[in-house]
Structure 1
Amino acid sequence: MEPKRLRQVSIISVVFSQSELLQKEVFLVETIESAAKESMTHLKAVCFLRPTSENIQHMKRVINNPRFGEYHLYFSNVLKNSHIQILGDADEHEVVQQVQEFYADFLAIDPYHFTLNLPSNHVYMLPAVFDPPSVQQICDRMVEGISAVFLALKRRPAIRYQRTSEISRRVANEVARLMYEEESPLFDFRRTEMSPLLLVIDRRDDPVTPLLNQWTYQAMVHELIGIKDNKVNIKEASKTDKEQQEVVLSSEQDSFFKANMFENFGDLGMNIKRMVDEFQQKGKSNQNIQTLEDMAKFVEHYPEYRKMHGNVSKHVTMVTEMSRIVDERKLMSVSQIEQDLACNNVGQAAAFEAVMNELNNDNMLEIDRLRLVMLYALRFEKENPQQLELFVNKLASRSIMYKPGLVYTLLKQAGTDKRTGDLYGNRDLFNRARNMARGLKGIENVYTQHQPLLYQTIESIVKGRLRDIDYPFVGNHFQHGRPQDVVIFIVGGSTYEEARTVAMQNAANNGTRVILGGSVVLNSAKFLADLEDIQRLGRASVI
C-alpha cells in the first residue's frame, strides 16, 4: 500500500500479475491513503512503502486508527532510526507485527533492465547552480535506486562515471559515499575475487538512439504506442474490445512475448501467424465434443484455452495497430534515412538531399521531420551550418507542435564537444575497422543495423579497454581485470534498443553479466519532451 504518485504499486505490478497475487491469498490491493474506512480486522495487511517522511506520516495515521488485525511493514530501502521510533510510538494498539527492509526501490521491467520512472526527468540536463533543490532531489532518488539494486544483489561495486558529465560524477560520488562510508556495514557482504562494476553514464553521450524509429517488437511498441510499467494502452486501435484497450507486455508473464520481444517486425509477423494457426487448431478440436470424456477434457483445458485466446488477441491487435501507424506515417522510408544518418558513412550532400526530399513530403508528421533534422544535425554538426539553418527554417515554416530551436537545444546539450564516446565510430582505429567490416559483410535488415553506443561501452568493459581517463574510478576503489557483473546506469534514461543490446550480450555468455538501469525508459517523444522542458527553462532564465 502506497500513495499512487509514488508508484510502489507499479514496482509490484511488473513482477506479479493479479492472478499470481490471488494465488498467494492477497485479496485486496489498495493505496495507503485509500478513503475506505470499513474495519476488516479479520484480514492482515502487508504494507510495501518507500521509506520517505511522507509515507511514515501516512503509516503513523493508519496504525493510530487500524482497519486490519495485523500490519506487516516492508520498506523498499534503508529505514532511518528516527522513522522506526515514530512508528513504534504510534503503535498503541500493538498491531504492527514486523518491520523489515526489502530492497526493491526500482521497477524490474525485465530480468536485466530496471528503471526508476523519475518525474521531471529533464532536470538531469540542468546545471546544479540553476535549480539546486531539483537537481539534488533527482540525484538523491537515483542514489537510492542504485543502492537498492546492489543491496538486492548483495554486492558492493567498484564505481566509475563518465568524465564529461557533471551529474554522472555527482551520482557516482554520492553512491560511493553511501556504500563506503554512511552505510558501509550494510554493504559489507562476503568478498569475492572480483568486485562488480557500477558505471554511471549520461544519456547525452548518445542522443541518437532515443531519436530513432525502432523495428524490434518491444522497442517498436514503446516508440509507436508507448509502454508504461509493462502495460500498453491501445485505445486508438480500430475495432478493439474494451478489455483489450490496456494490455500487459511482460517477459515474465507472457511466453510468446518473451520469445519474440527482440525479433524484428518481419519475423514477428510470421511468428504471430504460426500462433494464430495453432490457436485455430485448438479451437477446432474443442468444437469436436461428442462424449462425456471429451466434455471433461474441454472443461479441464478451458482456462488454458481462454488464456491463449487473450494472448492471441493481444498480439494480433498490437501488431495490427503498429502496421497501421507504419503505413500512415510512411515510416519505412523515413527509417531508412535515419539508419543511414545514424550508422553509415553517408556523404553530407547525399544526406542533405535525402532529408530535404522527406521534409517536402506533406504527409510527414512533425515529429518525424524534427527527428530527421536532429539526426542530420548531430551527424554533420561541424560541417556547413548554412544547410542546417535551411532545415531549421523549413521546420519553422510548418511546425505547430515543436519549436524549431529544439535542434539547437539538442546540439547545446549533446553536441560533439559534450560527448565522451565515439558515437559514429570515427575516432578510434578499432571502431573504424569494425564499421568497415560490417559494411563489407552487409546487414541482414537495413532497419535494425544501428547499434547504440552502449554496445561499444560493454565491448570495452569486457575486453578491458574502457579508458580510465574517460571513465575514472571514484576514490581508491580500483578494479583490475574483467568484472563478472556490471550494472550500467544511464542518467537521463535508457531505451529498449539498449536493453536488447544488453540481453544479446548476456546471451552470448562470455563471462560478464550486464544489468541496465536508467532514470526513465525513453522513446523519441519522451526524449523530445525533456528537451522542450530544458528549452523552456532556458528561455525563462534569460527573461
Structure 2
Amino acid sequence: MVLITLVRDYIGRMLQDIPGMKVLILDSSTVSIVSVAYSQSELLKKEVFLVELVDSMSKETMTHLKAVYFLRPTSENIQKLRRQLANPRFGEYHLFFSNILKITQIQVLADSDEQEVVHQVQEFFADFCAIDPYHFTLNMQMNHIYMLPAVVDPPSSHSFCDRAVDGIAAVFLALKRRPVIRYQRASDIAKRIAQETAKLMYEQESGLFDFRRTEFSPLLLVIDRRDDPVTPLLNQWTYQAMVHELIGIEDNKVDLRNTPKVSKDQQEVVLSSEQDSFFKSNMYENFGDLGMNIKTMVDEFQQITNSNQNIQTIEDMMKFVNNYPEYRKMQGNVSKHVTMVTEMSRIVEERKLMIVSQTEQELACNGGQVAAFEAVTKLLNDETISDVDRLRLVMLYALRYEKESPVQLMQLFNKLASHSAKYKPGLVQFLLKQAGIDKRTGDLYGNRDLLNIARNMARGLKGVENVYTQHQPLLFQTMESIIKGRLRDVDYPFIGNHFQQGRPQDVVIFIVGGTTYEEARTVALHNAANSGTRFILGGSVVLNSKRFLKDLEEAQRISRTSNAV
C-alpha cells in the first residue's frame, strides 16, 4: 500500500519492456509524477537518454529512438499526440496514460496512426504525485477554487472537481481496491467530489473497479481544508514541514538559489525519503534534535575525510578510488543538510520566529483570551516582527476568539491595518466567513465534548515535551474517530447504500484545499505504530502558510469581483 512503490513499479514496467535507446515524453503533470519517484540516474539505467515535454518538443527527427509517452488522458494531450503521429519523428511510439482512456480517445489515436508507428497503448494508473510513502498531492494550480461557490465560476469549479476525482480514482486503481465513501456534510465541494467519485467507481466504470472483495472495504473520506484553517497558518518546527514553511518544497525539490553563499551544485537539492537516508531518519525530528544529528553526521564525515588523507599505499589508493562515488555522495549530502539548516536558522533569527511561534502555539492549543490578546498586541507593536507574521497571529486569534471578544478583535484589525502595509483589508474577516466556528464540523480546539476537554487537561497537566510542537492537527482526532468507530454519520455521511462494516484496515483521507507536512507526519507516525488501520493522506496541493494565504487572497478577490457585478 506504499504509494511510491506503486508509481515506481508502473514507471519501471513502462521502460524495461522496451529495449534500446528511448526518449521519455511527459506533460506538466506527469513530469512531477515521474520526478518524485525516479531519479535521473535511474532513468539513464533504463536507457532513457532524453526527456522532453509534450508542449515544447524539438522538431528534429530521431528515428533511432523509441518514444515512450506518459501523459494524462486530457483532450489537449490527445490532440497533441494526433498531430505528432501525423508526422512521426521517432521509430516507435509507446503510449502510456496515467488514467482511464475514453473509447473515443482510443479511436482518435487509432485513426491518427496512419504510418503504424504506435506499438502499444496502455493505462498505468499513476495520476497522482507520491511525495512520500503515505502522502500524495495532485499539484492543482487553481487551488483557491475550493473556497468559492460553484455559481461564481462554474467551468473552473467543474475542472477542479474532475481533477480531484481523477486523482482519487487513480489511487484506488493503483491499490486495486474499491472503497466505501464518506464526506464532510458541511462542505459542498467535498460532497460533490465524493458523489462524482462514487458515480465513477460504482456506475460509469464499475467493471474496472470490480476487484476481489476483502472482509473490510477500504474507506475514502473526503474532507475540507476549511475545517482546520489553523494547521496551515502555524510555523513548523520539524524538519520536512519547516523546510516547506521557511524555504518551500516543490515535487521534493528545494530551491536554494536565493540563499546567501550557496555553491552552484547546491542551488536546487532533492529532499526525498527514498533517496536520502539521513532525511528519511530525520524528516519528522524537531529542530533541536535535528541540529544534534547534523553535528553527528558532520563529525562522521570529517573522520572519513581525515582517513582518506592518509593514503600511503597502492591498496589505500585503490580503496579510496572504489569508495570515491560514495564519498562524493556523502559530501553532497552533508553540504545539503548543513546549508538548509543554516538558512533556516538565519530566517528564524531574522523573523524572531521563536517568540512568534510560542504565541501561535498558545493560540492554537491553550485557552486564556486576556493573555492571548496581550501577547498578540505586544507582537503587533514590535516593529521587528514581519507583516506576514503579524497577519497570521491576528488570524489565529480571530479563529480562536471570534465569538468571545469582538471588541478586542476589532482593535487588533485596526492595529494590523495601521502597522502592516501589505495587509489586505477584510482578509481576516473573509477567513472567518470561510472557516469560522459556524462553518466548521470538527472540534478544532477540543472544547466541545467532554472527551476532548479531558484529553486537553491531561496533556496540560503532563506538560508538553516541546512548546513549539505541542499542536496536533484536527486530522489526528479524525483518525482516532475512524479507528474507534466514532466518526458520526450525521457529520460524515456515507454515499449511497455502501456502509462500513467493522473497522477499516485501509483509509484514504483526501483534503480538498490541500494537506500540510504536519498532517503527513501525523499519518506516518500512526502507520509506523502499526495499529491495524493504515492511512494514506492526499490533497489538491501541499500547503504552507504562504500558499494558504495566497489562495485566501485570490478567493477573496474573485468573491469581491463577482459580488460587484
Q: What is the TM-score with the length of structure 1 in the denominator? A: 0.98
Which segments of 5 or more consecutive residues in structure 1 lack a partner in the other structure? none
Q: 1:245 aligns with which of 261, 264, 267?
A: 267
Contact preservation (8 Å) 2:148, 2:559: no
Alignment of 1:143-542 (within 5 A): 143-345=165-367, 347-542=368-563
For 1:246 and 1:264, how far apart are their aligned partners in 2?
23
Alignment of 1:37-52 (within 5 A): 37-52=59-74
CA shift, 1:35, in A, is 3.8
For 1:91 and 1:445, how far apart are their aligned partners in 2?
62
Q: Which amino acid aligns with 2:204?
A: E
Q: 1:89 aligns with which of 111, 115, 121?
A: 111
* CA deviation string 1:460-497 (max 9, x = no partner): 00111111011000000001211000000000000000
Contact preservation (8 Å) 2:98, 2:123: yes
Counterpart of 1:71 in structure 2 is 93
For 2:425 and 2:408, how far apart are their aligned partners in 1?
14
Alignment of 1:112-123 (within 5 A): 112-123=134-145
Counterpart of 2:12 in structure 1 is none
* CA deviation string 1:302-350 (max 9, x = no partner): 00000111110100000000000000000000000000000112x1111
Contact preservation (8 Å) 2:62, 2:90: yes
Partner SS for 2:52: coil
Contact preservation (8 Å) 1:2, 1:8: no
* CA deviation string 1:281-311 (max 9, x = no partner): 1111111111111111111110000011111
For 1:521 and 1:32, how far apart are their aligned partners in 2?
25
**The 10-residue stretch of structure 1 (445-454 or 279-288) with the greater mean CA deviation from structure 2:** 279-288
Q: Which amino acid aligns with 1:385?
A: P
For 1:542 and 1:185, how far apart are their aligned partners in 2?
45
* CA deviation string 1:480-520 (max 9, x = no partner): 21100000000000000000000011011000000000000
For 1:59 and 1:542, how far apart are their aligned partners in 2?
41
CA shift, 1:402, in A, is 2.7
For 1:58 and 1:358, how far apart are their aligned partners in 2?
54
CA shift, 1:236, in A, is 2.2
Q: What is the TM-score with the length of structure 2 in the denominator? A: 0.95
For 2:544 and 2:55, how far apart are their aligned partners in 1?
32
CA shift, 1:267, in A, is 0.3
CA RMSD in angstroms, aligned pairs only: 1.0
For 1:56 and 1:381, how far apart are their aligned partners in 2?
50
For 1:61 and 1:95, how far apart are their aligned partners in 2?
13
For 2:55 and 2:363, how far apart are their aligned partners in 1?
50
Partner SS for 2:208: helix
Which segments of 5 or more consecutive residues in structure 2 lack a partner in the other structure? 1-23
* CA deviation string 1:225-261 (max 9, x = no partner): 0001111111222110122111110111111101100
Contact preservation (8 Å) 1:60, 1:90: yes
Contact preservation (8 Å) 2:96, 2:124: yes
**The 10-residue stretch of structure 1 (106-115 or 530-539) with the greater mean CA deviation from structure 2:** 530-539
For 2:55 and 2:160, how far apart are their aligned partners in 1?
24
CA shift, 1:3, in A, is 6.4
Identity of aligned residues (%): 75
Partner SS for 1:198: strand
Q: Which amino acid aligns with 2:139?
A: N
